[in-house]
């Protein structure tokens, strides 16, 4: 480990450094950028089907992957398995629910419905 001296600059702000540390390989974006408390296990993108094709392009079988479907959509590569307990990223969409990019607007709308 490198010892830092007071005259050296810090590499990242604390919030960004925390997001980088908690991000798992294969996530579509930095962890902790989705709704507060949400995890990848609650997201529609966790787990997708990979089609195995023969030389003529016909699908011969389908395999379920436990990686991030949004990562595959963005990079066109099959990333490593993302644990279900990983903190959600900005592309988080709740299973069976509405799209929640930031979570705050959706939560406020739900509270307004309860109040009225």
Per-residue model confidence as pLDDT tens digits over 92-102:
999 886 554 45
If pLDDT is split at 50, 70 and 90, which confidence band does 5 have?
low
Provide the pLDDT for residue 68.
93
| CA–CA dist 45, 5 (Å, integer) | 43
Task: Report the share of the chain in percent with pLDDT over 70.
Answer: 75
Beta bridge partner(s), residue 46? 68
Decide if pLDDT at 71 tops 80: yes
Higher pLDDT, 10 or 78: 78
Buried/exposed code over 65-95 (b: 16+ C-beta within 10 A; e: otherwise): bebbbbbbeeeeeebeebeeebbbbbbbbbe
Per-residue model confidence as pLDDT tens digits over 35-59:
999 999 999 999 888 889 999 989 9
- For residue 23 the two structure tokens come to 């991000």
Provide the pLDDT for residue 113.
58
């Amino acid at each position: 480990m490198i010892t830092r001296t007071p005259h050296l600059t810090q590499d990242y702000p604390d919030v960004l450094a925390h997001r980088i540390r908690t991000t798992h390989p294969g996530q579509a974006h930095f962890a902790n950028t989705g709704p507060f408390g949400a995890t990848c296990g609650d997201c529609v993108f966790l787990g997708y089907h990979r089609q195995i094709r023969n030389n003529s392009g016909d699908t011969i079988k389908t395999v379920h992957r436990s990686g991030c479907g949004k990562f595959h959509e963005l990079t066109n590569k099959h990333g490593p398995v993302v644990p279900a307990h990983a903190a959600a990223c900005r592309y988080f969409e709740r299973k069976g629910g509405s799209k929640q990019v930031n979570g705050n607007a959706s939560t406020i709308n739900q509270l307004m419905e309860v109040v009225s």
